[in-house]
């Protein structure tokens, strides 16, 4: 018997660019970008409440490993998810969340060594 579709909780975010985005978390996976492993978090986003598109956040494992080495502990999976969500909010505020052209892979932004501390600071970690 087929499993029913998951019920998704749609949330809204009023961004600095004036748009109100609707989004929900779709899935998280371990993935690679070139030779760099990390976590890939996929959200489904709508700007107009009529059309929705996937948008990805890639969290580089090297950033997580560097933070763990400096702080004596690894981030939990919940903390990694929270960092990805904060990066999504920043992308909303920057106005970079847009649908990809037809037939192209979803757009994405990254969490790297350059922005991890700032994102964790926003979370109070």
Q: What is the pLDDT of residues 14-53, one digit of tens each?
A: 999 899 999 999 999 999 999 999 999 999 999 998 999 9
Q: How many domains does the structure of the chain reveal? A: 1
Q: In this structure, is residue 114 part of a structural domain? A: yes
* Contact call for residues 56 and 42 (beta carbons, < 8 A): yes
Q: In this structure, is residue 2 part of a structural domain? A: no
User: Phi then psi for 95, rounded to 5 degrees?
Assistant: 75, 25
- Of 94, 84, 109, whose CA–CA distance to 18 is shortest? 94
Is pTM beyond 0.85? Reply is yes
Q: In this structure, is residue 6 part of a structural domain? A: no
pLDDT in tens, 60-104: 999 999 999 999 999 999 999 999 999 999 999 999 999 888 888
Q: In this structure, is residue 107 part of a structural domain? A: yes
**The two three-digit tokens of residue 69, written as one number:** 């080495």
pLDDT tier at 8, thresholds 50, 70, 90: confident
Domain that holds residue 111: 11-123
Q: In this structure, is residue 23 part of a structural domain? A: yes
Q: In this structure, is residue 3 part of a structural domain? A: no
Task: Provide the 10 A C-beta neighbour count for residue 42.
Answer: 17
Q: In this structure, is residue 1 part of a structural domain? A: no
Alpha helix segments (H runs only) across 1-125? 61-71, 77-94, 116-123
CA distances (Å), origin 108, targets 57, 58, 67, 69, 97: 5, 7, 22, 27, 8
The alpha carbons of the chain give a radius of gyration, in whole angstroms, of: 15
């Amino acid at each position: 018997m087929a499993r029913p579709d998951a019920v998704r909780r749609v949330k809204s975010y009023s961004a600095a660019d004036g748009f109100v985005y609707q989004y929900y978390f779709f899935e998280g996976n371990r993935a690679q970008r070139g030779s760099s492993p990390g976590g890939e978090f996929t959200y489904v986003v709508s700007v107009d409440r009529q059309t929705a598109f996937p948008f990805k956040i890639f969290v580089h494992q090297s950033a997580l490993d560097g933070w763990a080495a400096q702080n004596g502990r690894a981030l939990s999976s919940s903390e990694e998810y929270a960092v990805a969500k904060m990066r999504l909010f920043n992308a909303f505020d920057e106005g970079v969340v847009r649908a990809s052209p037809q037939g192209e892979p979803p757009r994405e932004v990254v969490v790297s060594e350059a922005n991890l501390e700032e994102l964790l600071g926003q979370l109070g970690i």
